[in-house]
Every structure is written in structure tokens, then in C-alpha cells.
Amino acid sequence: MQVEIWSVPGLSEADCQAMEGLYRAHYDGAPAEAFRRDLAVKERAILLRDAEGVRGFSTLRRLTVGGRKVLFSGDTVVAASCRNQTGLAGAFGHVMQRLAQEGGEPYRWLLICKGARTYRFLPTFFRHFTPGAVEEPALAAELRAIASELFPDAYDPSTGVLHFAADKDRLRTDVLRRDPESVRFRTLNPGWTQGDELCCLAPLDLGNLNALGWRVIRDVAPVWYE
């Protein structure tokens, strides 16, 4: 599996079509133009590619919200047959390292989760994040401030969930795992089957990575394309 990190303007039309095909194979409910509209405002795309073509992707955008530096994840999809690989996580770690080189206050990673598989990225690779098994009051307050500013009409600070009134995509299926993190996600976001999204935040300080996070960074060597 080849792991690539692209600037969005550098993506070929064929790759954009392949990404959109993966997205539509896994989500229902979004209007026809939604994927391209979302992609157009992102800066980076992580692609997983094998002999069959693009097999997974994630999109990223840097923001400044209330004086905080925020990295916002957009659509993330991986073909079912490729979900045991660590390329996506490793490439994200390399993006973290590049952002850390900017210096100053570290970025916060804003992740909005439609399914438990996405949420589990946090407890798998990070020491501190919210919401989680251990309450992080200061981080939770940051999350409420950021999400309230970015999604004033959809975000409910009492639940931490985004609810969009119309034209919202939703997962076609998801494995109902019984591990504690997956159960926690479904408890926190009971409307996930209708497209509600759980807002999450993690410091993108390299010291916030756990041992597994560092291991996947070492094991993955992405190719950067501008």
C-alpha cells in the first residue's frame, strides 16, 4: 500500500473521482455536490493507493478559531478490505510532525465522528483527548468554544453533538463493536445512524502520542506531493 500526502489543488481529476466514489459507496444522504464542495475548502489529502487505485483517503484543513490553531479533519473513508493497515494513521502523524516544526502553540485536532471506527482513532493513538473515559475539563471547554464558533446552528454544547437539519450524510453501515470505546461513542452520540456527529478534540503536541502512535509513524513513509 502506497501512502501519499497531497495538496488538494495537486490532485488529479481521476483521483478526485476515485475519492468521491469511495465516499458515495460508504455514505448516504448528501446532495450530489457535497463531496466536491467540501474537498474544495481543504488543504491536504492523505491517499492510500494500491494496484487497484485509491483505496482510502482523509482530508485536512488548518483554521484559526478564537486565537487557537486548529487542524480540522474532513471526510475519511477506507475500503473495508484495507482497514487493518496503519498507513492513514502514520501519514497523519507525519502531518503532525510538520505542523510541530512551525513552533509556537501546538495545534488542536478537531475531529467530528459519524461512526465509532473514527472515534477509536483517539484512544488508540493519543494520551489526552475529549470526550473520553477520563474527563479533561480544560480541553472540553476548548472544544465547546471551537465547535460553537464553527457550527453555531448545529452544535449542542450540552451533548457535544452536531445535528444538521437537512442534507446530511450518514454511514450506510458500521460494525457494532462491543469494546469500551465503541460503546462510549454510541452512548455519547445516539443519533449517529441519522448522521449526527460527535465533536472531539486532541492536542497535536507530539508528546500527546502514545507508544503505538510513534510506532506507526516510524513504520509509514508517506510520499509528499505539492
Per-residue pLDDT band for 5 (boundaries 50, 70, 90) equals very high
- CB of 67 closer than 8 Å to CB of 19: no
Of 85 and 148, the structure prediction assigns the larger pLDDT to 148
Instruction: Identify which of 138, 120, 140 has the alpha carbon closest to the alpha carbon of residue 130.
Output: 140
- CB of 98 closer than 8 Å to CB of 91: no
Give mean pLDDT, residues 211-220. 96
The rounded Cα 81 to chain-centroid distance in angstroms is 19
pLDDT of residue 171: 76
**Chain length of the chain:** 226
Q: Is the pLDDT of residue 59 over 90?
A: yes
Q: Is the pLDDT of residue 176 over 80?
A: no
Give mean pLDDT, residues 184-206. 94
Average pLDDT, the chain: 92
Per-residue pLDDT band for 167 (boundaries 50, 70, 90) equals low
CA distance 35 to 43: 14
Angle between helices 87-100 and 211-219 (to 10 degrees): 100
In DSSP notation, 171-222 reads ES------SHHHHHHHHH-TTGGGT-EEEEEEE--GGGB-HHHHHHHHH--P
**10-14, 143-147, 150-154, 190-194: range with lowest mean pLDDT:** 190-194
C-alpha cell at 172: 450506510
Point out which residues pair with 90 in neighbouring strands: none
pLDDT of residue 119: 94
Per-residue pLDDT band for 178 (boundaries 50, 70, 90) equals confident
Say if strands 27-28 and 53-65 run parallel, antiparallel, or are unpaired. unpaired
Looking at residue 130, the DSSP 8-state letter turns out to be: B
pLDDT of residue 174: 65
Instruction: Identify which of 38, 39, 33 has the alpha carbon closest to the alpha carbon of residue 10.
Output: 39
Per-residue pLDDT band for 173 (boundaries 50, 70, 90) equals low
Per-residue pLDDT band for 193 (boundaries 50, 70, 90) equals confident
Q: Is the pLDDT of residue 80 over 90?
A: no
Q: Is the pLDDT of residue 170 over 90?
A: no
- CB of 210 closer than 8 Å to CB of 204: no
pLDDT digits (tens, 9 = 90+) for 12-50: 999 999 999 999 888 887 777 888 989 999 999 999 999
**β strands within 33-174, DSSP E:** 44-50, 53-65, 68-78, 108-113, 155-156, 161-162, 170-171
Residues contacting 25, CB < 8 A, separation 6+: 77, 172
Peptide bond before residue 131 is cis, with ω within 30 degrees of 0 = yes
pLDDT of residue 57: 96
Can you give the pTM of this predicted structure? Answer: 0.93
For the chain, how far is it from start to end, CA to CA, in angstroms? 20
Per-residue pLDDT band for 168 (boundaries 50, 70, 90) equals confident
pLDDT digits (tens, 9 = 90+) for 47-56: 999 988 999 9
- CB of 213 closer than 8 Å to CB of 126: yes
